[in-house]
Structure 1
């Protein structure tokens, strides 16, 4: 099964648009299309001044002073939440890891780029037990540096500094993550209603890791990665290896990066399972007011659940002899001893060494005179027992420097993958090296004659629809979730994008064959030429409708090469649908209109921008394959309001003709005037979308429609142009 062969009962995107929200409308009509995801993070939620720009504010940050404060914090503030061995390093690393580690490649959602760990559901996930305390320990630092330091940057930087304080030379750090101010509604974490329920519901066959539901990456609701006790809590390291490999691949990591991250994450800190799970109090979202946003109180255990009595995962123990030191102790213990299954004090399955030398045992977190048994999880044992993982582990065990360098790079990737291109990184520790997973794009030429390029395009003999469709297909890959894709780079001409069915490969090749020589002759990048051609098509369509429209254009986009393109990571970005061009690769269990919402949200568009773009694309004749569905006009090619005028015309009625097809019939004669899909009809059936459609159907808003279309179009053409 490849990444695009989604089983009929599985969803290729999030399911959020039809979930029952906490309002009567959704509760009474749960199947009504919910547009809330298009308006999350509204400006009214943001308490900052309207002119506040975090990316500018963070440039004033005193980074050395901040890092000094964070380094001091690692061994200070031991009063209300004492650290293991007097060092918060492992704690802060876990917080940063669990913020960044929710990222998944399929839709680019999750990750630490927004500070969303502060909000539900992440702040109360079972896998995030006690991370509320880590964030509270950081509060004095956040308070001190204020608006110049976002929570999102602070949480990730705390993990970086933690590693540095324990001896690792990190690869670098980029600031620039702006905070959100409310939970993200667009991320589908799974359909389960039970925390840590059986994994089976996420798979067609839980014994085949690759059948996990797309776009999920974790094996159970409430986990970041895999169950540390084994799949469904059943220890089997070789089986765990398959699931570790799949879940890390879905987070864009290869085998070497996976081993490095697993070992490097467990080189420091410990797991906590010294008590009983039933003694842990409610998660932050369910805790009493007096807890002030914290949760998981261990109030019935000795020492209030602190120190050696702390409970979180249920697994108990450190992985290495010196858990506050960056070293090679993980591999030393893993290969030096045979390991046997044991039970933690909390009853969790864990692996412990047989006949261990007491000198290899870590000391107690409170009393250094006491030695404690080290542990490994099922996933750790996979690093030794899976043949491919073992080869990598042995290489790391033999070369500490190589392990450290590989981990530092993998950690940097983990914590920066969702930030977009390197040009968005800010600060004195941004690495100079361009990394392929950053989707590098060289700077483009800005000194060419734009008018000359437009003259060449006009003489090329391309149809208006081809120019518009090609520019759109290049732009629609943009994802606001992780800032990947878009026109910049002109990767539409490279594998795998040039062969995607949604891009109509034969048509695309013919268009590019005419645009590429123009770029070569004029000094413009192909990316700029594609945008200019699309703009010219839209401007011509507006002219045909009787409106003068001049679209803003800024030169300077670059053209990426194959060597700059991680084709495998782009594979999962292949569009399986495009409601803007009225195309579905095949029928899915999810409705076409839900797919449209998902794509719209990923592209960073609002509901009214979606509305105006769909209506405009229809009348300009840009449907995939040239189909006539939804082209509700007799003036194809003109940027008119005909789509909205005719959709709302009560002289017609709509008659279902199949799962995704409808006829528009004259009410008097029964004659079929036009055909349409669900994506077309939703703009008349959904009350909110109809309200937008009616605006553009009004006699006085033809000019507004053209202006609004031009603004939304330009937004998409510039989406990844930093």
Structure 2
């Protein structure tokens, strides 16, 4: 084994996760536009080809009940179900299930076969159909093939060609284990951010129950926490589990360890990416979880069988033939049996998982089950909408949704925005508004911080947040500590006055939104700061943002976007958090990755904002200049100057004093988020460039470019 830098120095700050933001690893050329390619598809022909694969058994892989539908539903579910709200990462976008670690997760056993079955479809349509879209569409076609009416489908998931190494899956070093470090204070049921799955290598929770024990109360608790972190409420949770378990079966005819070969990433080269090789003749089909049996008597038909079986029969926990805990009906002769998955002349007794029985024993979940049983149409509609949400939750706003089956309705979880019913401002109006903004009492720092606070909520993982909508003026964002609510109110009131005066003065239909005005104010501040340093720059601006209402804003859903640390504003947070990131600088890199920033872009933004004096609560921390408000390279010059030394002033080592080595006088105060640009080798290498005598002009241009990039990250209408 060859050791990496991280092996030699485990505490080394990982910056390589930002490199993918600077380099495209796709085999397609830079002009490739997946949205254009997708819209050239004959969509109905694609669906027909998928259904043909689904209902035509292949000799090399056994189809349960002669139908691959349940397998394809599991594939789509496990692709989309990795999504978690806390950082917006994972999910179906990018087709990441075909790359490690998801490709070889224990919970994804044999899904490599499902994708390989679809290879002819992918090969036929090539670049017009991504794996990300194909995997999810196959799940929809499977549901429809078995009698279910789906709510719709949207394409637009461009494929990734490299695993997202920024995703933190947990602290464990072995699959299917749970360590105390996974939970805050080591307490089960309180997962550390940003996790959602409760067990390493499982999509959701352990189907046998917590720690592999048939504990229905603990299982219900795990389910609720997990599905809440997927942005699902109790009704959606029950609908998804009940709807998904209406189809197919689980496989545990024997102990998996006796028959299960290595996973795809560990399999020998001759297996060509397939893993978990089994001896089908010995085990009569396949083995996945070690749990055995269908949920209903009709595993390839949409009906009420799952809910009826769960509610109308009593269930007892037993060890199944695969050695795993499952539940059998107490009165086995009173439940309808299913045909054998491989031999229809035989029959199989329905079973339940601990997670299924947990729904029956939890009073809130049971109430939903009983309502669905009484009103099957409500169940159908709830599952249709919850499934649609599951497979589209990570795609962002509806303008990114492609294809003929996109619903007309925009849901609250899609962060809706109103359409502009007015003409947009042009260059002349933008210049006029910038002058008016700069003539107010607002400072460069206030304008820059407000624009940054608005735009930097964006995260590229699930395309949420950003300046569009001006949600910084709404709850919860206007009350976030990092946004300095009292000062923010002053800035917003002033900008609203400018907006009102401009809009009321127009005799035509030209209007400016507050969302555009906030960005424009930040741009004006940057241009003025550059001018103070002797540089004439124009920050690009594209109008078209609109203002969302409070009713269009799901407060609880937006809470997860609140920054715990913001390096650009030198905000260290309260320190009262327990997550998988050990230091403020790790959180800085994590946020930079979500903003799609490279290492130089992150460095330029931090140094530039320090020069502007745009720090949390306007403190002098990190403002290493005697000319705050001018876009200079002083931050880097003084950071790297060996005339100074650094001393921590708090026990945590978060805040430091910069002292003159000769006199001992304190020149400045700074934080870890400043020092890291001098202590980390890669960050210092970039800081050297910006801190050189000829580096200031480079910094100014790079700062403007990075600033402009962040301001327009959510402008999908411009793509």
Match of 2:681 among 678, 687, 700: 687
Give the match's secondary structure for 1:405: helix
Partner of 2:525: 537
Please, which moves more after superposition, 50-59 or 182-191? 50-59
* Alignment equivalent of 2:252, drawn from 261, 264, 273: 273
Compute the displacement of 1:46 (Å). 1.6
- What residue is the counterpart of 2:109 in the other structure? 129
1:447, distance to aligned residue in structure 2 (A): 2.6
Does the 8 A contact of 2:21 with 2:593 survive in 1? Answer: no
Q: How much does 1:23 deviate?
A: 4.4
1:247 matches 2:241 = no
Query: Which aligned pairs between 1:570-581 and structure 2 lie closer than 5 A?
Result: 570-581=558-569
1:153 is matched with which residue: 122, 125, 133?
Answer: 133
CA-CA distance at 1:443 after TM superposition: 2.8
Residue 645, structure 1, aligned to residue 624, structure 2: no
Residue 617 of structure 1 corresponds to 609
SS of match in other structure, 1:341: strand
Residues 415-467 of structure 1: CA distance to partner in whole angstroms, max 9, x if unpaired?
A: 00000101111111111101000011123344333334334323332111111
Match of 2:507 in 1: none
Deviation at 1:25, TM superposition (A): 1.7
Aligned with 2:328 (options 332, 349, 352): 352
Checking the alignment, whether the CA contact within 8 Å between 1:78 and 1:86 is kept in structure 2 is no
Measure, in 1, the Cα distance between the counterparts of 2:470 and 2:24: 36
User: 1:318 is matched with which residue?
Assistant: 294
Match of 1:516 among 471, 490, 496: 496
- Alignment partner of 1:381 out of 346, 357, 360: 357
Match of 2:43 among 63, 70, 81: 63
Matched, 1:662 2:642: no
- Closer/same/farther in 2, CA of residues 53 and 637 from structure 1, 3 Å limit: same
Would the aligned equivalents of 2:329 and 2:335 in 1 still touch at CA under 8 Å?
A: no
Corresponding residue for residue 225 of structure 1:
204
* Pairs within 5 Å for 1:267-666: 267-278=246-257, 279-299=259-279, 302-303=280-281, 305=283, 308-357=284-333, 360-444=336-420, 445-448=422-425, 449-521=429-501, 522=503, 523-587=511-575, 590-658=582-650, 659-666=653-660
Matches within 5 A, 1:107-256: 107-198=87-178, 200-204=180-184, 209=189, 211-256=190-235
Gap change, CA 1:206 and 1:317, over 3 Å in 2 = farther
Distance 1:195 1:128 in 2: 12
Name 1:10's counterpart in structure 2: none
Q: Does 1:95 align with 2:95?
A: no
Alpha-carbon distance between aligned partners in 2 of 1:227 and 1:496, rounded to the nearest angstrom: 34
Deviation string 1:463-500 (CA, Å, 9 cap, x unpaired) is 11111100001111111111101110111111111100
Q: Residue 304 of structure 1: CA displacement?
A: 5.8
- Indicate the SS of the match to 2:669: strand
Question: What is the rounded CA distance, in whole Å, between the counterparts of 2:199 and 2:586 in structure 1?
Answer: 24
State the partner residue of 2:697: 703
Question: Structure 1 residues 610 and 584 mapped into 2: Cα distance closer, same or farther (>3 Å)?
Answer: same
SS at structure 2 position matched to 1:256: helix
**In the aligned structure 1, how far is the partner of 2:185 from the partner of 2:236?**
26
Q: Deviation of residue 705 (structure 1)?
A: 1.3
Which has the larger displacement, 278-287 or 608-617?
A: 278-287
Task: Give the SS at the match of 1:682.
Answer: helix
Aligned-residue offset at 1:208: 5.3
Asked whether the equivalents of residues 21 and 597 of structure 2 are also in contact (C-alpha less than 8 Å), the reply is no
Change (3 A) 1:44 1:511: closer
Kindly tell me: are residues 50 and 248 of structure 1, through their superposed partners in 2, closer, same or farther at Cα, counting changes over 3 Å?
same
Q: Give per-residue Cα distances to partners, 1:673-697, cap 9 Å, x unaligned.
A: 1121111111111111111111111
Deviations 1:262-286 (A, max 9, x none): 0011000110001222120111111
Please give the alpha-carbon distance, in whole angstroms, between the structure 2 residues aligned to 1:338 and 1:206.
34
CA distance in 1, matches of 2:140, 2:584: 43
Post-superposition shift, 1:28? Answer: 1.4
How far apart in 2 are the matches of 1:196 and 1:36?
A: 27
What's the TM-score once normalised by structure 1's chain length?
Answer: 0.94
Residue of 33, 48, 58 corresponding to 1:53: 33
**Cα pair distance change 1:208/1:191, threshold 3 Å:** closer
Q: Secondary structure at the match of 1:676?
A: strand
Q: 1:205 to 1:637 in 2, by over 3 A?
A: closer
Q: 2: distance between equivalents of 1:207 and 1:326?
A: 39
Alignment match, 1:720: 714
Kept in 1: contact 2:316–2:328 (CA 8 A): yes
Measure, in 2, the Cα distance between the counterparts of 1:430 and 1:481: 21
In structure 2, how many angstroms separate the alpha carbons of the residues matched to 1:228 and 1:35? Answer: 36
**3-state DSSP class of the match of 1:653?**
strand
Deviation at 1:184, TM superposition (A): 1.0
SS at match of 2:649: strand
3-state DSSP of counterpart to 1:673: strand
2:508 corresponds to:
none
Q: Distance in 2 between matches of 1:216 and 1:443?
A: 35
Mapped contact 1:358–1:371 kept (Cα < 8 A) = no
Q: CA deviation at 1:668?
A: 2.2
CA deviation digits over 1:635-654, x for unaligned, max 9? 10000011111111222222
Local SS of the residue matching 2:393: helix
Whole-angstrom distance in 1 between the partners of 2:470 and 2:531: 28
- Farther off after superposition, 632-641 or 646-655: 646-655
Structure 2 CA distance, aligned partners of 1:270 and 1:496?
Answer: 43
Question: Residues of 2 paired with 1:253 and 1:520: CA distance?
Answer: 39
For structure 1, which segment, 689-698 or 511-520, has the greater mean C-alpha deviation from structure 2 after superposition? 511-520
Cα distance per residue 1:584-611 (max 9 Å; x no partner): 1123672121111111111111110000
Q: SS of the residue aligned with 1:665?
A: strand
Work out which of the residue numbers 234, 237, 244 in structure 2 matches 1:258.
237
Q: Shift of the alpha carbon at 1:369?
A: 2.2
Retained in 1: the 8 A contact 2:172–2:179?
no
Distance 1:712 1:315, change over 3 A: same
Instruction: Give the match for residue 16 of structure 1.
Output: none
Q: Describe the SS at the equivalent of 1:547.
A: coil
CA–CA distance in structure 2, aligned partners of residues 139 and 575 of structure 1: 41
